[in-house]
Chain A
Amino acid sequence: MAFKKFSVKQPVNILLADDDPDDQSITLEAFRESELPNHFYAVENGQELLDFLRHKGCYKNVKKSPRPSLLLLDINMPKMTGLEALQEIKQDDQLRTIPIIILTTSIADEDIIRSYNLGVNSYIKKPVNFEDLLEAVIKINTYWFDLVSLPPGAEN
């Protein structure tokens, strides 16, 4: 499989919110293999996600919890679900411009409609095998980092 070199000059920050450690590690692996220059961060639930974005709790160090260029969000997570966190983020003036992709195994109409109503940027069914996940990640990267103009100041 031929890989495309992305036009991104500076590494971008990808943040994944997913409670499954296996899913975390294969997503990290897919981003590494996609050859997009990136720093990859992961949190385990909605509460940790908000702490990360707001530099609270164990994420006080801004350098270790930078503002993500793109946020990948699972729906079913303990403590605070993806949809609850999504609602909080979209109500926060500082955070609402961060592009958010739902990446989940749920294809329930209700979850899809709610996500779009809460302002999610796209809804993607999490591929079950690595090859498909890598292909999905490359499509996501081409779209978000080669084509789209991200909100200015995303690197802060």
Chain B
Amino acid sequence: MPEKNSIFSDQQKPSVTIVLADDDADDCAMMLDLFREAKIINTVYTVEDGQALLDFLQQIQSDAGEIESPPIVFLDLNMPRLSGLEALKRMKQDVALKAIPVIVLTTSFADQDILDSYHLEADAYIKKPANREALFSAFSAVKKLWVDLSIPVPNTSVTTALPDVASELAQTPQ
């Protein structure tokens, strides 16, 4: 079971559940700190590799009561066991997981990684800033878009109950 950190008081319901997939313990600790500073009311789960990420997402998917708010994945690319890109590919092939937003957050500046991530339907690609201050403004911008502005995907259990949109649209008479 991944490590769980709650950043909210008893009176506040977390608005998002952040799943942080990153194998660097120092990076994770700093990001946890900054989520708190950026006032993103959340619960953060940390996982160390792509396989642990998939296992955890499948677990919360099969038990809708497991998490209290819609999940967003922050995904590092270079991780042991199963890389970030491979994990992303498998998520997007899984009907139950594909609607979960994935923000790639990595130190890689390679054009090919950026292109591959968007091809595999990452929601956004963010180069992990090297210093704390820049990372803080990154999280503030993420908060403004994802927490204040965007409507997250509703209760994930609904996702699986809905007929596949692709097959349904295909049946629509032209």
Q: Is the CB of A113 within 8 A of B145?
A: no
Select which of B92, B114, B158, B169 is within 8 A of A87 by beta carbon: B169
State whether A125 and B151 are in contact (beta carbons under 8 Å apart), knowing that A117-B98, A119-B121 are contacts in the complex. Answer: yes
Q: Is the CB of A136 within 8 A of B99?
A: no
Q: Is the CB of A142 within 8 A of B151?
A: no
Distance of A12 from chain B, by nearest CB (Å): 15
Q: Kindly identify, within residues 131 to 174 of chain B, every residue whose CB is under 8 Å from any CB belonging to chain A.
A: 137-138, 141-142, 144-146, 148-151, 153-154, 158-159, 162, 164-166, 169, 172
Contacts of A149 in B (CB 8 A): 114, 125-127
In the assembled complex, B123 has its CB within 8 A of some CB on chain A? yes
Contacts of A122 in B (CB 8 A): 101, 123, 145-146, 149-150
Interface of B is mostly: helix
Contacts of B169 in A (CB 8 A): 83-84, 87
Contact count band on B: 35 or more
Q: Tell me the complex Cα distance, A140–B127, Å.
A: 17
Q: Kindly identify, within residues 118 to 147 of chain A, every residue whose CB is under 8 Å from any CB belonging to chain B.
A: 118-119, 121-125, 136, 139-140, 142-144, 146-147
Q: Is the CB of B158 within 8 A of A109?
A: yes
Q: Is the CB of A124 within 8 A of B165?
A: no
Contacts of B124 in A (CB 8 A): 99, 121, 143-144, 148
Q: Is the CB of B153 within 8 A of A113?
A: yes
In the assembled complex, A57 has its CB within 8 A of some CB on chain B? no
| A83, A117, A121, A148: residue with the most chain B Cβ atoms closer than 10 Å | A148
Q: Is the CB of B118 within 8 A of A151?
A: yes
User: Residues of A within 8 Å of B, CB-based: how many?
Assistant: 36
Q: Tell me the complex Cα distance, A144–B145, Å.
A: 9
Distance of B117 from chain A, by nearest CB (Å): 8
Distance of A72 from chain B, by nearest CB (Å): 13
Shortest Cβ distance from B100 into A: residue: A116
| A90, A97, A110, A136: residue with the most chain B Cβ atoms closer than 10 Å | A97
Select which of A84, A96, A112, A143 is within 8 A of B154 by beta carbon: A112
Distance of A152 from chain B, by nearest CB (Å): 4
Select which of A99, A109, A139, A146 is within 8 A of B148 by beta carbon: A139
Contacts of B165 in A (CB 8 A): 83, 87, 114, 117-118
Give 14 A-B pairs besides A96-B119, A123-B153 with Cβ atoms closer than 8 angstroms.
Answer: A90-B121, A112-B154, A114-B162, A116-B101, A118-B165, A119-B98, A121-B124, A122-B123, A147-B126, A147-B138, A147-B141, A147-B142, A149-B125, A149-B126
